[in-house]
Structure 1
Amino acid sequence: MSAPLFLFSGVGSDCRMFTPVIDRLKDDFAIVPWDMPGYGGKPLDDGFTFAGMADAVVEDMNRAGIARAVFLGHSIGGMLAQEIAARHPGRVAALILSGTTPVFGSPDGEFQKQFLAARLAPLDQGVTMPELAQSFAKDLLGSNPDPEAGPTATTLMSELPEQSYRAGLTCLVTFNRREELARIAVPTLLIAGEQDTNAPLKTMQRMAEKIRGARIETLPETGHLAPLECPGRFAEAVRRFLNDLP
């Protein structure tokens, strides 16, 4: 595979969530961790929309002389990967969608409102990010995570600026690319945690059915933080997929 592998993180962490996966792949593949605005030390600007981020990724590719890339996105990062495929299909060599969905919420928008209000309420009441992080991982992990998964997820979220997290959640609830799934025309791998309640296995199986030629890899005993919970199995799934690309 000659195209570089771009990584997009979930909303509760920057791209350091992929560190144990990167360590297993970096000797064989060119990897570009790409943080969202306000994440990974980036300034939080007015580009924190899916369209704005997709365009920013392509601008960075242009500056680096990269024609096409493989995009691996986890959770909201998987949504960003789908957005790039919809807006800039010619720049996509392949997709790896981890723990994500093609749409967030309900058609009437009520679920989105309730979700955002519930997630922001503790912050509005003065809870700090380090305090919020203490309960972050326990509801997301599966039944048999790597021992470092929980502590790492807690640390990464505690270091995330509050305004960046707020911007990420506000962006998350706007996503809807369900109708574009059938138009994806590049090799696609979906990685699903068997016990993921945020991006349920059944949802990802339906996604795989709508994307022509897509394959799906199910990770047993795994919740929503697959790159941290089982980095070895996650990396091997990615490696097999990349090695099969032309």
Structure 2
Amino acid sequence: MRYQTDFAPSHLNAPPRTLRLGRWTLHYQAFSRFAADGREPVLMLGGAFQSFRSFSAEVQELLPRHPVILLDLPSQGGNPQLAPELALVHLADLIAAFADELRLPPLMPIGLSYGSALAALFAARHPQRCARLLLAGVTTFGRPGARRLLGEGLDLLGEGRVLPFAQGALAGLINPLRLTETGISTAFRKSLLRQIQRLSPQEIERYRQNSQRLLDFPGFDHHPACPTLVLAGEYDHFTQPWEHARFAAACTDADCALIHNADHLAQFEQREACASFYRPFLQGAALPLASPGATRLARNRLTHLERRQEPRLAPLNRHGRLLHGEGGEWPVEIKELGFFGALLQADLPADLPYRGWRLQAGDLPPLDMLPLRREGDSLALVFPHTDATASEALAAQVARAEPPSVAYA
């Protein structure tokens, strides 16, 4: 490997280097302070809607201490090659083949969101190739609500409904109830929404393939054994803190740090808090018990972290109506109502249609909803937040409510 030594942010816009491995073309860029650098390199693996340009600040932060490689596998980031036949395990094996071909020393992958699944699989399947592993926004997708929302996004894209898809994706990436805490500006939210709305047909297909891989992934048969650090955003509803902690507990040698005032975009919202843990981790130094904006969770707490993240309120007016697009309408009692989901009680048909539902709750606009699970006459549901007006009205109602006892779907 020959590294580029004159890094500037503009270089991330340049055409990447390419490596051909059989049928597959990999895109990468590699930077260091030394052209021939035998140190263990950091390998950046990004998530949905991210490209090499997304990591300018991270590359600049890491370069004084580490070589840095940015890698786009087929159908990822800016790599236009489609690969619907490749499962997550195949892509993880391509990372190992990439390292073999370029004769790299053991890697230190940083996996963000979708990239976390790839990084973790690579570490588990190729332990000799992985020195250390850093994960954030862990996408193991065992939680039924997350899988339901991801599947709904794919259905919307299949129908050509990019605008509602973009609204729902934005609500997953940025927790609308915690904008004050995370410091996300209206301008940033609008910019990200426009970016998602303007995805090209090829970008949509890449997103579809990557999301389907996550839904098809059967789970880990064994977890990474190398030193591992998991960073969890305190208010991340898409990949929740307890899921990060459970993943860390399943690893042989892992720590989990809770990043305060952050959601799914923790590494962008609270850069210094994240860096206070990943700097010493990547250098093999002891981690702090806490730092400004972050707390390391005790190992004996990892499997006992509270799952109750979002309060579900008992609304003052519990009478509602469940509406279906084919003309059905049923009265319901709204037992619990939150921003991300609700619990209803009603006499409903035995076989509920999978999609096409709305909930009329009080004076709120009709809310698009997805049935999640049913027990007797109770129905738990999640809101995909595909309508901005309805979502904003619900968020305002939830924000005005008094702190309640909580329950979660």
The TM-score normalised by the length of structure 2 is 0.52
Who is 2:242 aligned against? 202
Alignment of 1:7-156 (within 5 A): 7-42=44-79, 43-46=81-84, 48-105=86-143, 112=147, 114-128=148-162, 132-133=165-166, 136-142=169-175, 143=178, 144-147=182-185, 150=189, 153-154=192-193
CA 1:210–1:41: 2 relative to 1, 3 Å: closer
CA 1:41–1:206: 2 relative to 1, 3 Å: closer
CA 1:5–1:150: 2 relative to 1, 3 Å: farther
Who is 1:5 aligned against? 42
Contact conserved, 1:149 with 1:229, CA < 8 A, in 2? Answer: no
Contact conserved, 2:153 with 2:169, CA < 8 A, in 1? Answer: no
Paired residue for 1:216, among 240, 248, 256?
A: 256
Shift in Å at residue 2 of structure 1?
2.4
AA in 2 matched with 1:163: E
Instruction: Report the Cα distance in structure 2 between the residues aligned to 1:47 and 1:226, rounded to whole angstroms.
Output: 32
CA 1:218–1:169: 2 relative to 1, 3 Å: same
Contact conserved, 2:124 with 2:225, CA < 8 A, in 1? Answer: no
CA 1:235–1:139: 2 relative to 1, 3 Å: same
Who is 2:212 aligned against? 170
Shift in Å at residue 116 of structure 1?
4.7
Contact conserved, 1:98 with 1:190, CA < 8 A, in 2? Answer: yes
Instruction: Report the Cα distance in structure 2 between the residues aligned to 1:201 and 1:191, rounded to whole angstroms.
Output: 9
- CA offsets, 1:137-168, max 9 Å, x none? 34422531454753564465444611101101
Q: Secondary structure at the match of 1:17?
A: helix
Instruction: Report the Cα distance in structure 1 between the residues aligned to 2:64 and 2:194, rounded to whole angstroms.
Output: 27
Contact conserved, 2:112 with 2:137, CA < 8 A, in 1? Answer: yes
Q: Secondary structure at the match of 1:198?
A: coil
Q: Secondary structure at the match of 2:132?
A: strand
- CA offsets, 1:61-107, max 9 Å, x none? 1222103101111122111112112221211101111110445356x
Query: Unaligned stretches of 5+ in structure 1?
Result: none
Structure 1 range deviating more: 155-164 or 80-89: 155-164
Instruction: Report the Cα distance in structure 2 between the residues aligned to 1:12 and 1:224, rounded to whole angstroms.
Output: 13
Instruction: Report the Cα distance in structure 1 between the residues aligned to 2:191 and 2:66, rounded to whole angstroms.
Output: 24
Instruction: Report the Cα distance in structure 1 between the residues aligned to 2:58 and 2:184, rounded to whole angstroms.
Output: 13
- Between Structure 1 and Structure 2, which shows a larger proportion of strand residues? 2
CA 1:40–1:167: 2 relative to 1, 3 Å: same
Instruction: Report the Cα distance in structure 2 between the residues aligned to 1:97 and 1:149, rounded to whole angstroms.
Output: 24
CA 1:207–1:116: 2 relative to 1, 3 Å: closer
CA 1:168–1:145: 2 relative to 1, 3 Å: farther
Instruction: Report the Cα distance in structure 1 between the residues aligned to 2:166 and 2:56, rounded to whole angstroms.
Output: 19
Q: Secondary structure at the match of 2:253?
A: coil
- Between Structure 1 and Structure 2, which shows a larger proportion of helix residues? 1
Shift in Å at residue 132 of structure 1?
4.2
Shift in Å at residue 48 of structure 1?
3.7
CA 1:94–1:51: 2 relative to 1, 3 Å: same
- CA offsets, 1:16-46, max 9 Å, x none? 4333322322232211111242233311234
Who is 2:394 aligned against? none
- CA offsets, 1:210-230, max 9 Å, x none? 223311111111111122222
Instruction: Report the Cα distance in structure 1 between the residues aligned to 2:150 and 2:91, rounded to whole angstroms.
Output: 20
Contact conserved, 1:222 with 1:230, CA < 8 A, in 2? Answer: yes
| Bigger relative CO (Cα 8 Å, ≥ 6 apart) | 1
Contact conserved, 1:104 with 1:175, CA < 8 A, in 2? Answer: no
CA 1:16–1:127: 2 relative to 1, 3 Å: farther
Q: Is 1:242 aligned with 2:282?
A: yes
AA in 1 matched with 2:116: G
Paired residue for 2:271, among 215, 225, 231?
A: 231
AA in 2 matched with 1:233: A
CA 1:175–1:117: 2 relative to 1, 3 Å: closer
Residue identity (%): 24
**Cα RMSD for the two superposed structures:** 2.9
